[in-house]
Chain A
Amino acid sequence: MSAERWKEDEVLLESLRKGSPGAVDEMLRLYQGKIFNLAMSILKNESDAEEAAQDVFMTVIRKADTFQGNSAFYSWMYRICVNTCLMRLRGKRRTDTVSIEEFMPVFTDEGMHASPMDDWSKEVERNALNEELGRMIRKYTEELSEKYRVVFVLSDVEGLSNEETAKILGLTVPAVKSRLHRARLYLREQLSRYLREGKAS
């Protein structure tokens, strides 16, 4: 996380604690988009995400006073958001997630690649496909179960380190790393199938 972000966070926290005018606007300016994005990626539903975001900001306002400062402010806020969203998911029917196992690379009993590899790296490196790829990556991410999705979003979309993600989710760093790696293996496989099938047609 950048030094400016730390600075901004500190100022924000101080003014929230004092109840200074403008504190709430500043919080919304800095975090509204991020909290909505995180809530959307867990809940995948706009009105649920909106309600979750309301809850998150109310909790932050109410608890700013008791925030201990032994973790970064934004990571405390993300943690509140993840907990709020997971609580909402509880008891809800999980919608159309795919099994990540179906999209892991396949190996022979000797541990060799079981199917031929197609090199589509050049196609993807060119920026011509970006719009399409962004859309596909989002679709594939949405199909992941939230166990992988949350780790993926914090790491690759929010750009947090494995340590930060681990703290927010209450996981160990190796657990975060392994989930993230599996999510990336899955994405590679999905993209591979998409590009291969696209070529065939």
Chain B
Amino acid sequence: MNCKELAYMLADYIDGSMDPQLREELDAHIAMCEPCMIFTKTFLVASDKTRQLRKEIEYKIPPEVRSRLETFVRAAALKFPEKVNEYREQVERERREKVAALLKAAIAGRLSSITALLVETHCAGCPECKEYFDGLLKASSPAAGDPPMLIDSHVTRLMESLPPGEEFFLA
């Protein structure tokens, strides 16, 4: 081991993740090499001091910022219930649109291969969904209205199991 390797291995040495044999080598080097001895000592002292002075290094929130922030957040939070409902409705709307788009893509045979595989696997174990999808394909047009609740929830879960960013239909 040389001084350079030692300097970059200090992190493992300190957090105890270094394997015992390397540790012995490192200790042996420090015992023989004065620069490394001083380097390690000053490194440890500087790191400990930093943690000890944590509160001094921290940015204190100025009183006027604190009170402005409180006023702002409190006022905004008064509209909280409406905002949450709005948000929930939006999420639900987006979900229903996605389910409808998936069913449409299934009829048109435009599901992405990963989605088609997911649907197929699911239908193999779920008679309700199998019947529904078979029916769709036979009629080759979307059923009127939303799908039955059970199908709806299964399709939703299926879409949620897609990796993030994965499109479920072919462009």
B-binding residues in A (CB < 8 A): 19, 23-25, 28, 32-33, 36-37, 40-41, 46, 49-50, 53-54, 57-58, 61-62, 65-66, 105, 107, 110-113, 116-121, 124-125, 130-131, 133-135, 137-138, 141, 156-157, 159, 177-178, 180-181, 184-185, 187-188, 191-192
Bound: A137/B7 CA distance, A: 21
Bound: A116/B36 CA distance, A: 10
How many A-B residue pairs lie within 8 Å, measured between CB atoms?
A: 148
B144 within 8 A of A: no
Evaluate contact between A62 and B83: CB separation under 8 angstroms: yes
Evaluate contact between A180 and B39: CB separation under 8 angstroms: no
CB neighbours (8 Å) of B73 from chain A are: 24, 28, 54, 57-58, 61
Evaluate contact between A111 and B4: CB separation under 8 angstroms: yes
Bound: A17/B4 CA distance, A: 52
B114 within 8 A of A: no
Evaluate contact between A187 and B46: CB separation under 8 angstroms: yes
Evaluate contact between A65 and B84: CB separation under 8 angstroms: yes
Of B55-63, B93-101, B118-126, B127-135, which binds chain A?
B55-63
Mark contacts of B74-108 with chain A using CB atoms, 8 A cut-off: 1 yes-contact digit, 0 otherwise: 10110011011001100100000000000000000
Evaluate contact between A53 and B69: CB separation under 8 angstroms: yes
Give 15 pairs: A residue, B residue, CB < 8 Å, sorted on A.
A19-B80, A28-B70, A54-B73, A66-B91, A105-B7, A113-B36, A121-B38, A130-B52, A133-B49, A138-B56, A156-B54, A157-B57, A187-B46, A191-B46, A192-B42
- Measured CB to CB, the nearest residue on chain A to B57 is A138
Evaluate contact between A58 and B76: CB separation under 8 angstroms: yes
**B-side interface mostly:** helix
CB neighbours (8 Å) of A180 from chain B are: 11
Bound: A119/B4 CA distance, A: 18
Evaluate contact between A120 and B3: CB separation under 8 angstroms: no
Bound: A191/B70 CA distance, A: 38
Evaluate contact between A32 and B42: CB separation under 8 angstroms: no
Bound: A141/B51 CA distance, A: 13
Bound: A118/B37 CA distance, A: 11
Known: A57-B69, A192-B42. 5 other contacts (CB 8 A): A19-B84, A32-B61, A121-B41, A156-B50, A185-B7
Bound: A177/B65 CA distance, A: 34
Interface centre among A119, A181, A191 (most CB of B within 10 A): A181
CB neighbours (8 Å) of A61 from chain B are: 73, 76-77, 80, 83
- Measured CB to CB, the nearest residue on chain A to B70 is A28
Evaluate contact between B42 and A50: CB separation under 8 angstroms: no
Evaluate contact between A105 and B76: CB separation under 8 angstroms: no
- Measured CB to CB, the nearest residue on chain A to B75 is A24
Evaluate contact between B58 and A157: CB separation under 8 angstroms: yes
CB neighbours (8 Å) of B59 from chain A are: 36-37, 40-41, 49
Evaluate contact between B3 and A117: CB separation under 8 angstroms: no
Evaluate contact between B4 and A107: CB separation under 8 angstroms: yes
B16 within 8 A of A: no
CB neighbours (8 Å) of B11 from chain A are: 177-178, 180-181, 184
Contact A184/B43 with A19-B84, A37-B58, A62-B84 known, Cβ cut-off 8 Å:
yes
Q: Which of B10-64 contact A (CB under 8 A)?
A: 10-11, 15, 34-36, 38-39, 41-47, 49-54, 56-62
